[in-house]
């Protein structure tokens, strides 16, 4: 499913599609919200919820990697990679 078709779905169907076909990449918190990032064939989707709640407030969909910026601080590379990068 492409991004245009995904955006045309009702939010409940979007969430079901993410659960079945998306890859959960990361979770983070922003203000009073819990966000879960998914990758789906050619685009990304963030599920926004009020902190501690199960119900979805909205799903933010984007394609450009710039939207991943807030998640970069969460990436941790394994320690052994640093050992391989030495002189």
Domains of the chain: total? 1
Q: What is the CATH number of the domain that holds 8?
A: 3.30.67
pLDDT at 87 over 60: no
Digit-coded pLDDT (tens) for 27-73: 999 999 999 999 998 999 999 999 999 999 999 999 998 888 888 87
Cβ burial of 68 (10 Å; 0-12, 13-18, 19+) is: middle
Domain span including residue 20: 3-84
Q: In the structure, what pLDDT confidence band is assigned to residue 19 with cuts at 50, 70 and 90?
A: very high
In the beta sheet, which residues pair with residue 47? 36, 59
Q: What is the pLDDT of residue 73?
A: 78
Cα distance between residue 85 and residue 31, in whole Å:
37
């Amino acid at each position: 499913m492409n991004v245009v078709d995904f955006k045309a779905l009702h939010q409940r169907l979007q969430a079901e599609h993410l659960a079945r076909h998306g890859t959960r990449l990361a979770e983070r918190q922003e203000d009073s919200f819990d966000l879960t990032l998914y990758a789906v064939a050619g685009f990304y989707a963030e599920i926004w919820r009020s902190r501690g709640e199960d119900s979805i407030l909205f799903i933010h969909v984007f394609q450009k990697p710039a939207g991943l910026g807030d998640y970069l601080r969460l990436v941790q590379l394994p320690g052994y990679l640093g050992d391989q990068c030495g002189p």
